[in-house]
């Protein structure tokens, strides 16, 4: 079995459109949630979201491609460009047949779907764009990235709702671990801050109706009232440790475990006892060769919905009962919930925590819910060594995914 390391990262987020800016704002506890500007959201009853700001895809992508694509593909390709540049991989040091892509998205080209259905309704079926299907299907993020970097190994799109990004990273990890590829471009992307996206989640009563961006996403708080929709993408370049070492790569961290389970309980609600989450976390820790007592930080799924946060907190307490130092935070308090991209930008955040020995704060907490008895990261305790961490993602349909990441000395 091969060791699997991270040699590149890219990010397009509500906190910044590159890793450096994302980290600067994330570790300064900035909130990237603002009033919705992409459309008139007032009729939906929802006023805030974690929008990507000042995004110019043509800084990294050809004009023709940037203008053709749905934002979910542009976010993916843009962050993949940053990650591959950071990794320093090219055809001089890696055969195309040894490079693959496994990339996730929960919904795909929802803006394209919305626009083309309106066009068909208003102007008739002959006016539907020939790019409607390729611009909207979820696997096109993986396909476009593979074309972009001439990746001739596997190319897969992963769809497990809000677990998509983490499942993609975990599956890519297994691909390299089992010797099927030397390097993988992996992560998740989402661009669903639009009328139908907001309206759909609002109809589920899943979204926060708060008009104050600083009080809208409140994971683990007694006054939490739903999640805030976010958008963006996160990309990791994973590489066989021996291959990375041989070419003198800058190794950022190592993925050491992956757990994935199903609740088989409900379409949208998690198992209230967190049984699937417990097994997924235990699997990831077990594969790492460590014990639950060794974990320093947990980047929680922490959506700020009543059911998720209490079930996840119970699961964390069950797995880490003997660990008196592990700290927990949900970075969704700053970014909102990026759905299929959430696990990807949160994996990037975990690598940042390991590199900086500083954990992202669980921002906005004023009254921690007694139903969520976890040791949250605060401004006071955020600076501490992070040697081993896990990142949790739990999706509609009962999908659970957890990855374990550690520092490399």
Catalytic residue annotation: 162
Apex 166 CA angle, 51 and 154, nearest 5: 110
Backbone φ/ψ region at 150: left (φ over 0), alpha (ψ -120 to 50), beta: left
CA dist 346 and 392 (Å) reads 9
SS3 state of residue 22: helix
- Rounded to the nearest angstrom, the gap between the alpha carbon of residue 159 and the centroid of all alpha carbons in its chain is 13
- Report the DSSP beta bridge partners of residue 395: 399
- The residue assigned the tokens 């083309």 is 116
Enumerate residues 6+ apart whose C-beta is below 8 A from 117.
Answer: none
Count of other CB atoms within 10 angstroms of residue 129:
15
Count of other CB atoms within 10 angstroms of residue 158:
28
Count of other CB atoms within 10 angstroms of residue 309:
25
SS3 state of residue 129: coil
Whether residue 230 contacts residue 335, with contact meaning beta carbons closer than 8 Å, is answered with yes
Whether residue 190 contacts residue 336, with contact meaning beta carbons closer than 8 Å, is answered with no
Apex 100 CA angle, 97 and 102, nearest 5: 165
How would you classify the pairing of strands 388-395 and 399-406?
antiparallel
Phi, psi torsion values for 207, nearest 5 degrees: -95, 150
CA dist 14 and 216 (Å) reads 15
- The residue assigned the tokens 């190794």 is 251
- The residue assigned the tokens 């130092």 is 325
SS3 state of residue 13: strand
How would you classify the pairing of strands 99-104 and 183-190?
parallel
CA dist 348 and 86 (Å) reads 13
> CA separation (Å) from 68 to 13, 130, 142, 317?
21, 11, 16, 47
């Amino acid at each position: 079995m091969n060791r699997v390391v991270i040699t590149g990262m890219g990010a397009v987020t509500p906190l910044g459109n590159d890793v450096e800016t994302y980290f600067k704002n994330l570790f300064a506890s900035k909130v990237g949630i603002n009033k919705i500007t992409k459309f008139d959201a007032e009729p939906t009853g929802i006023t805030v979201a974690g929008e990507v700001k000042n995004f110019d895809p043509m800084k990294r992508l050809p004009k023709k491609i940037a203008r053709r694509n749905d934002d979910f593909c542009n976010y993916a390709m843009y962050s993949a460009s940053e990650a591959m540049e950071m990794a320093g991989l090219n055809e001089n040091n890696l055969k195309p047949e040894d490079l693959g892509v496994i990339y996730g998205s929960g919904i795909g080209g929802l803006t394209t779907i919305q626009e083309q259905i309106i066009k068909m309704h208003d102007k008739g079926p002959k006016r539907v764009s020939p790019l409607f299907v390729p611009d909207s299907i979820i696997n096109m993020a993986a396909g476009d990235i593979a074309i972009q970097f001439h990746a001739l190994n596997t190319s897969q799109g992963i769809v497990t709702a809000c677990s998509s990004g983490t499942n993609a990273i975990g599956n890519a990890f297994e691909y390299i671990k089992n010797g099927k590829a030397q390097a993988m471009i992996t992560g998740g992307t989402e661009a669903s801050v639009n009328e139908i996206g907001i309206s759909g989640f609002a109809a589920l009563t899943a979204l926060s109706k708060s008009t104050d961006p600083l009080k809208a996403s409140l994971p683990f708080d007694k006054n939490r009232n739903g999640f805030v929709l976010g958008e963006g993408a996160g990309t990791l370049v994973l590489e066989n440790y021996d291959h990375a070492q041989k070419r003198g790569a800058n190794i950022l961290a190592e993925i050491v475990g992956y757990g994935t389970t199903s609740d088989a309980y409900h379409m949208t609600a998690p198992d209230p006892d967190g049984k699937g989450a417990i097994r997924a976390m235990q699997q990831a820790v077990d594969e790492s060769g460590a014990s639950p007592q060794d974990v320093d930080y947990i980047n929680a799924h922490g959506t700020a919905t009543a059911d998720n946060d209490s079930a996840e907190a119970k699961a964390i307490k069950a797995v880490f009962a003997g660990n008196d130092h592990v700290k927990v935070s949900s970075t969704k308090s700053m970014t909102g919930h990026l759905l299929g991209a959430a696990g990807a930008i949160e994996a990037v955040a975990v690598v940042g925590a390991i590199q900086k020995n500083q954990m992202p704060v669980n921002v906005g907490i004023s009254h921690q819910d007694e139903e969520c008895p976890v040791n949250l990261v605060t401004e006071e305790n955020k600076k501490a060594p992070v040697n081993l961490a896990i990142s949790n993602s739990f999706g509609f349909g009962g999908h659970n995914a957890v990855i374990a990441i550690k520092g490399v000395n």
